[in-house]
Amino acid sequence: MNTLSNPALQVSRDTPAIPATRLMYWSVQRELWENRSIYIAPVAAAVVFLIGFIISLVRQRHRQTAWPVDQMQLHHLLSTPYEFAAGLIMGTAFIVGVFYSMDALYGERRDRSILFWKSLPVSDLAAVLAKAAVPLLVLPLLSFVITIVTQFIMVLLSAGVLLGSGPGLGAIWREAAFFHVSVTLFYHLLTVHGLWYAPIYGWLLLVSAWAPRAPFIWAFLPPFVIFVVEKIAFNTSHFIDMLVRRLTGPESSVSMTPGSAPMDPLAKLIPANFFSEPGLWVGLAIAAAFLAAAVRLRRYRGPI
């Protein structure tokens, strides 16, 4: 048969290929549509914190004692809530990323939606990379935006509630160090949550692609077994120490010599130090291997 005389084949042949960037964009959008907890959980954490912050401000406003005149006390009183808000939102986003990664590839096999997604012109590589982009890129960026909005609301609330009872707006704005904290927070999220945690999310996605049942157990059982075997056989804990360091971030590895002054815990996040850290590149290589294995498993694994 002459294919040129078949309109259906002609249309199919003339259809332009969808750009990879558009496929990735809509794949990530699909993850956000299907997993609303990605943005609902950090927003909920911010709302809960703001409620507690308002109650604290009202109590502080009606307190009869004088405001601290010592600069260190004033700095601690005004800056600590902003740091705590950032930590709470980032911690919530990390927990969401962990549970999302464990369910990302397992869930589509469990509910058999993988049969539908495989019928679309999206490769397994694009699908896995889109899912990996959620904890590595989307959640850090969402955390940053939510944190900045939350802290800005905190500045406005502080200025309104504490007006005439203590430090003015200038002192509140200065102690909050809004712009400096914003830049530091953005850099911290991209480096630690986006790059340093990459092997953690890669491992969870690999388990999600492979686990026949209960991905949570399969994700945490192998590290526990390795820890127990190492402890019994060699009476050491190098593996668990490595995991703890991976979870706590590169700043925990700042070395100190006896008799020296304490070093800044953020010194390891300076670009010259962070990007020369061997653990970063080893972790990225391991994450790439995990993601490659997850792509291969998704290609051949069927519904549960």
Which pLDDT band holds residue 257 (cuts at 50, 70, 90)?
A: very low
Is residue 170 scored above 60 in pLDDT? no
Per the listing, tokens 């109650």 go with 55
Q: What is the pLDDT of residue 288?
A: 96
| Model confidence pLDDT, tens digit, residues 236-248 | 889 999 998 888 8
The whole-number pLDDT of residue 197 equals 94
pLDDT tens digits, one per residue of 194-208? 899 999 999 999 999
Residue 296 has pLDDT above 90, yes or no: yes
Tens digits of residue pLDDT in 205-254: 999 999 988 899 999 999 999 999 999 999 888 999 999 888 887 764 44
pTM: 0.81
Q: Which amino acid is at 219?
A: A
